[in-house]
Amino acid sequence: MSDDARRALRAGDLVAGRFRVVGDLGEGSSGIVHRAAQLSLGRDVALKVLRPRFAMDPVARARFTREARVASTLRHPNAVEIHDFGDDGAIAFIAMELLTGATLRAILEARSRAGADAPLELTRVLAIGYQMADVLAAAHAVALVHRDLKPENVFLEPTVSGERERVVVVDFGLAFIADHDELGRHTVEGVVAGTPAYLSPEQARGERVGPPSDVYALGCVLFELLAGAPPFEGDTARLLSRHLFVPPPRLRERRSGPPVPVALDALLQRMLRKRAEERPTAAEVRATLGSVDPSAAEPHARGRESLPLVGREARMLSPTPRGVPDESPSSRAPDDDAEVAMVGPVDVEVQLALAANGMICFAVSDDHPVSGATAVLALGATAATVRALTAHGAPVVTDAERSDMERVAALLRAGADEVVLRPLEIEDVVSKVSRALGKARRRARRG
């Protein structure tokens, strides 16, 4: 076979002297998949060939080989079986189990074209999620991270016995090979790899990823199966910002079909937490999914985490509990008409987070006076500054050290609508500004 890495494989080509290409099956970001016959054993296989632009890169090629070797050690009924891998001149390949059925993405698109109200039935989603969590738990036990979990990489195979379908997760670990230049973000840790709608916050920052990133992606996939769309949508830049800064929406607010059990909604909230260490493990997700009773859906049930805080001081001073529906910025439409004046130092990450929630931010200047804002964020402001800012009529949000209750009291007396406690968490700043805007709108309606 020619060593020209740019030559496409065609039907009849022989790879490594033992795989005869029969036809094409599909392609992904890192490789092209062919149907091939394994001559030595007389069976058909899926032959994945590394894309030429990666095959010419020694680093990418080494990663491909390493990941194939690790993936081949994963023996699990929900993982595609790796039969062989190796090189043939300029071609790097993996020979895998040939699957029947369809990808989860193809199934979702077919149901959408058919006009189905909800993408998949709850019992089916629980079964799919359980099997996916099961194989992730096994992979994480051998330090194998998928890095690009999405409906395109999940295969549903009908079983001969007519029992529940077999869920097969493909492409373990191979997403790291793809460079994803379209994301336009590189760091010293490496490249942002993955698909934007399913990226964990640490992936969006271009950091090294571990098992919690797979749990986050699984949460995004399950959310889509139940709500008809991933938790966050938009162009790549907006998606990255939302994964980083916007609290996840509640499933019960997005789902148009029958209600889901509270325990399932709470599990997704945990899986979609911004901090990797706060997410459950894949084994914990598997256990929870296995214990969820599909008939236990309560349309108006409120778990302990959904109960509102009591008292004006608690509402103004306590960090907003993650996942509280009526306080989360993402629980309603973005404040597209909100313009937030930033007085004092401008924190770029705070600015990006507010923008991701639909709030336009500007630094106060002669061209952009405070009087033109619908809210004011004045971090580090004195009580006198807060009092002067409130004269413009817009709600004012400022901050104070958690232990400095004297400053907190002075800021509240000066008219601050919300006080964020330090050390600052960006989610809390966004939530406080959004809540101040909501209170201002309610006051305007009343009066």
- Determine the 3-state secondary structure of 147 from DSSP: coil
Which residue, 151, 144, 177, is CA-closest to 49? Answer: 177
- Residue 72 shares a structural domain with residue 112: no
What is the CATH number for 376?
A: 3.40.50.2300
- Residue 91 shares a structural domain with residue 108: no
| 383 C-beta neighbours (distance < 10 Å), count | 17
- Residue the block writes with tokens 């209600």: 259
- Sorted by sequence, the CB contacts under 8 Å of residue 326 that are 6+ apart come out as 308
The whole-angstrom separation of Cα 24 and Cα 27 is: 9
Does residue 96 contact residue 80 with C-beta atoms inside 8 Å?
A: yes
Which of 69, 97, 125 terminates a domain? The answer is 97
400 in a structural domain = yes
Which of 97, 114, 134 terminates a domain? The answer is 97
Which residue, 35, 34, 36, 67, is CA-closest to 49? Answer: 34
- Sorted by sequence, the CB contacts under 8 Å of residue 21 that are 6+ apart come out as 9, 10, 11, 12, 13, 14, 15, 34, 35, 36, 47
What is the CATH number for 276?
A: 1.10.510.10
Does residue 297 contact residue 408 with C-beta atoms inside 8 Å?
A: no
Which residues belong to the active site? 148
4 in a structural domain = no
Does residue 60 contact residue 51 with C-beta atoms inside 8 Å?
A: no
- Residue 281 shares a structural domain with residue 346: no
- Residue 37 shares a structural domain with residue 167: no
Residue 419: which H helix or E strand, with range?
strand 418-422
Which of 296, 318, 341 terminates a domain? The answer is 296
List per-residue pLDDT tens for the chain, 447 residues long. 433 334 568 899 999 999 999 999 887 767 789 999 999 898 999 998 988 878 888 888 887 887 778 778 888 999 988 899 888 888 889 999 998 889 999 999 988 887 766 678 899 999 999 999 999 999 999 888 888 899 999 999 987 766 679 999 988 765 444 433 333 333 333 344 568 899 999 988 888 889 999 999 999 999 999 998 999 988 887 888 889 888 888 887 888 778 889 899 999 999 999 999 999 999 999 999 999 988 776 554 443 333 333 333 333 343 433 333 333 443 344 445 688 888 887 777 788 788 777 787 788 876 667 877 889 999 999 999 999 999 888 999 999 998 888 898 899 889 999 999 988 888 888 888 988 888 888 887 776
- Residue 75 shares a structural domain with residue 137: no
3 in a structural domain = no
What is the CATH number for 82?
A: 3.30.200.20
- Residue 63 shares a structural domain with residue 161: no
- Residue 165 shares a structural domain with residue 280: yes
**Residue 200 sits in which domain range?**
102-296
- Residue 162 shares a structural domain with residue 280: yes
- Residue 39 shares a structural domain with residue 120: no
- Residue 109 shares a structural domain with residue 253: yes
Domains held by the chain: number: 3
For the CA atoms of the chain, what is the radius of gyration?
A: 26
The number of helices, as runs of H, and strands, as runs of E, in the chain is: 15, 16
